[in-house]
Amino acid sequence: MTVLESIIDGVREDLEERRRSVSEAEIKDRALTASPALDAFAALGGTPDGEGRDGAVRIISEVKRKSPSKGALADIPEPASLAKMYENGGASVISVLTEERRFGGSLADLDAVREAVSIPVLRKDFMVEPYQFFEARAHGADLVLLIVAALDDQKLAEFLALTHELGMNALVETHTAEEIERAVAVGSKIIGVNTRNLKTLDVDTATFGKLKDLIPADRVIVAESGVQEISDVEMYGARGADAILVGEALVKSGDPEATVRAYRAAATAARASAKSATGVSGQSTQ
């Protein structure tokens, strides 16, 4: 059994427990009567045709207590306070881990962050059942994570459609060229390239540069994993990332607000420098 399969087994067990507490009818009603979702695609710099972007690299800042690869990362007694610091530092989206067993997250964290910030919030979890999408919207999520490796083509298309029906956007996470092809085929607007190998949990940041040109220019391209210091965000920016998702480096930084600000500025400057040097945007023109 792979790490991903093991995590998903636990996710399904925990989901069934929540479903016994809150029925599908109730969670749907709460989702459909929630305040409208914020536009995460626009917040990440996306435009309908990919033209007219401002060139800034956005930061998706993550509330993350622990991970399967690193164990405990940080004590976060007040996720709302951390999220507010992220927002004050210029984060464009706040990512909140809600998976409990391996990441120490919860829907209570999502609730607290949603109440504290005015920017889009990503529910970062392993989405494998429709119930979770209604649950995400009911708890105020504007964006959900879809992991291509965890879904067949039918489920990927169905879940992306459900996400859009609920007014949300999806960060569609890929790891390989084949997964990018699948993500593009279903019409994903926000595509992440995760440089962490799901089988070994090892990170190879060079993966981003090898794969990002396979993504059409009208999509928002997100670099995921591998940020330890400012040189990493500069590298992702120079290689054409529209946004960078950062968790561990921020929760361990000691000054999340200043670190977000520095990361955004450094990544944007690196992207502008690379564009100036090559005369191109760093994105595919497919």
- Tell me 56's DSSP state: P
- Give the C-alpha separation, 265 to 58, whole Å: 9
- Give the C-alpha separation, 172 to 184, whole Å: 9
The single residue of 28, 64, 84, 189 carrying the catalytic annotation is 64
C-alpha distances in angstroms, 36 versus 71, 163, 232? 35, 13, 35
The single residue of 224, 234, 248, 257 carrying the catalytic annotation is 224
Is 224 an active-site residue? yes
Strand locations in 121-277 (E): 121-124, 143-147, 169-174, 190-194, 220-224, 243-246
- Give the C-alpha separation, 248 to 5, whole Å: 23
Is 165 an active-site residue? no
The single residue of 188, 225, 234, 248 carrying the catalytic annotation is 225
What are the structure tokens assigned to 286, written together? 């497919």
The single residue of 87, 99, 135, 173 carrying the catalytic annotation is 173
The single residue of 124, 169, 188, 257 carrying the catalytic annotation is 124
By the 10 Å C-beta count (0-12 exposed, 13-18 middle, 19+ buried), 153 is classed as exposed
Per DSSP, the residues of 73-91 read ----S-HHHHHHHHHHHT-
Is 173 an active-site residue? yes
The single residue of 28, 61, 62, 212 carrying the catalytic annotation is 62
The single residue of 61, 194, 234, 248 carrying the catalytic annotation is 194
Is 248 an active-site residue? no
What 3-state class would DSSP assign to 35?
A: coil
Active-site residue set? 62, 64, 124, 173, 194, 224-225
